[in-house]
Amino acid sequence: MQFGRARAAEEEMEKAEKSKKRCGKRKISKSETSSIVMDNADTIFALMLAALCNHGNGPNSQSLLKTYLNQLYAFLFSKSWNSIPLSILALFPVLLSSKCPDIACRSAKIVGSTSLLSLEMNERIALDSEIVKVLILALGSSSRKVSVAACNALLDLSTTTVGTLRLLEFSALEKLMFGFLQH
């Protein structure tokens, strides 16, 4: 059901873009697309999942993912969320390991910021071994901005005892120290 709704919303946005290019009469503003995407967490999840399933590394999907991540980042702080729904959080291992540096970087920033929203979210993220593993791997990224964003996210996770213990469990301390020395 959610996947079908996501497909329909994505197709609607693509049709609007095509008609904008063809007609040139009416342009859809970013605020209008924001209202389409930001109805609720289910819609955000469905659209992001559809973009990932629809060749997540293709240019169109990358563009959509960047937009959704930027909107999610803004939405996190404008709506005073104290957590990200688990469904959206489950997408972050894939987003963090994206070949597109902008997607990986923004995803790391969202993970880091979210881990600072509440102790519960910090622990939830720290206990997600896939997110922690991908963040640790991202420290060695060829993109400096991705490695810095991953380093910052891991440091944000380390603000709680659970986060610190998880980083020790994955031997992240040495990699973090190497990251500091490298940058």
For 134-158, the pLDDT digits (tens) are 999 999 899 999 999 999 999 999 9
DSSP letter for each residue of 159-181: TSHHHHHHHHHTTHHHHHHHHHH
Give yes or no: residues 65 and 91 share one domain: no
Give yes or no: residues 111 and 53 share one domain: no
Flag whether pLDDT at 128 surpasses 50.
yes
Give yes or no: residues 76 and 2 share one domain: yes
Identify the domain boundary among 81, 98, 119: 81
Give yes or no: residues 101 and 169 share one domain: yes
Give yes or no: residues 101 and 175 share one domain: yes
First to last CA, the chain: 46
Give yes or no: residues 66 and 138 share one domain: no
Give yes or no: residues 104 and 175 share one domain: yes
Q: Which domain holds residue 17?
A: 1-81
The reported pTM is 0.76
Q: What are the residues whose beta carbons fall under 8 Å from the beta carbon of 70, sequence distance 6 or more?
A: 106
Give CA–CA dist 23/137, Å, rounded. 46
- What is the three-class DSSP state of 55? coil
In the predicted model, what is the mean pLDDT of residues 28-56? Answer: 68
Give CA–CA dist 171/9, Å, rounded. 42
b/e map 113-142, b = 16+ CB within 10 Å:
bbbebeeebbbbbbebeebbebbbebbebe
- Structure tokens that stand for 15 in this block: 């049709």
Domain total in the chain: 2
Give yes or no: residues 32 and 88 share one domain: no
Q: What percent of the chain has pLDDT over 90?
A: 48
pLDDT score of 58: 75
- List of long-range contacts for 77-81, beta carbons under 8 Å, 24+ apart: 77/113, 81/117
Identify the domain boundary among 13, 46, 81: 81
Give yes or no: residues 28 and 72 share one domain: yes
